Amino acid sequence: MSTTMKDTADVSLEDARQLLIDLVSIPSPSGDEAEAAERLVEFFEVYGREAWLDEVGNVRAPADDAVLLTSHVDTVPGEIPVEVEPADENDLEAEVAENEGEDVLRGRGSVDATGPLAAMAAAAVRTGVSFVGVVREETDSRGARHLADERDEPDAVVNGEPSGATGITLGYRGFLAGTYVATSESGHTSRPEPNAIQHATNWWAAVEDAFEQDEYTPVFERVTAKPVDVDGGISDDGLSVEATLEAQLRIPPSLDAESVRETAEAELEIGTVSWAEPIPPVMESPRTEVARAFRVAIREEGGEPRLLRKTGTSDMNLYAGAWDCPMVTYGPGNSELDHAPDERLSLAEFDRSVEVLTRVATTLRGGDD
């Protein structure tokens, strides 16, 4: 879908901040995003933009597909009192430290990823580009999967996650989740034969050894294997011992999910493993038109661009697997505060990110800044 440059509206930084504060004030854990999504729809409608919720709950505001700005509406659980208060130097990104004394917003989602979401909504209205707020990124990425399956490919994508106002994220590791299950006959604990719990722990120790790297290998280039839940014990009928181990493995761009799965299964002697649908790794070039537009915009806003690779996984991985267009991830906030009990966002940094996104979207639409 294409629009002209007149299909834009002025959004002040004050109004963008108010949207941010409103959204952070609305609890929106995965699966319960509807109220926050409706607030986003209202924001677009106030500025004359058509917006609605699709069948999975995504906020859709299509316009010029020269670039799609998209971030997630949901947050992780956890109540943090929403407060705006003066910042100190520890609350600010180094590039905006001169704004000490400016306000900082505290609250769940202020960093991950309501800050990027609100900044993108404001920039989308300012520049007339497409916007989608997706649901359930923190759980199963249902919103992004639906979007990638159902929507036409845009010319470019900017995914919203915290990178700092000067950070441009080009790479993420992939993700593979598995469930190991084993059963053994019950018996007296004095017997030497291993039970199902030991089978589970032995398999996992072997998996960790299989992916072990030396300390000099960057984390981004390693497979990280983590158990996230273990359950085991005597069965209800008392006749067997059962064990279940939930595992997550992060996949570097040098590997794919199939090879990681094969390595893990090669260590399997007893028991079975079922795997969820994997999310592939992604590594974008710094020389795309999107990356170049960000470098120029960040410098024009007084910052020095930083190119980032992140060890986690984001919805950009899914978009890169579905669409053959340039993309990056960008947004205000310190990613070390993702999911943290003291999650907070400098409003000066938020303002700068709105301006950067506005410049980028204007450039990609072919308009004058």
Catalytic (active-site) positions: 74, 137
The owner of tokens 């845009």 is 154
Radius of gyration of the chain, Cα coordinates, nearest whole angstrom: 23
- Give the CB-side neighbour count of residue 1, counting CA atoms within 13 A: 14
Are 59 and 53 in contact by the 8 Å Cβ rule? The answer is: yes
- Give the CB-side neighbour count of residue 27, counting CA atoms within 13 A: 8
- Give the integer Cα–Cα distance in Å for 218 and 56: 37
Q: Is the peptide bond before 113 cis (omega within 30 degrees of 0)?
A: yes
- Give the integer Cα–Cα distance in Å for 254 and 7: 43
- Give the integer Cα–Cα distance in Å for 71 and 360: 16
183: closest CA among 174, 191, 192, 194? Answer: 194
Q: How far is CA 299 from CA 70, 167, 327, in A?
A: 23, 11, 19
Are 247 and 224 in contact by the 8 Å Cβ rule? The answer is: no
110: closest CA among 304, 314, 339? Answer: 339
- Give the integer Cα–Cα distance in Å for 278 and 258: 9
- Give the integer Cα–Cα distance in Å for 325 and 312: 22
- Give the integer Cα–Cα distance in Å for 362 and 69: 12
- Give the integer Cα–Cα distance in Å for 121 and 136: 18
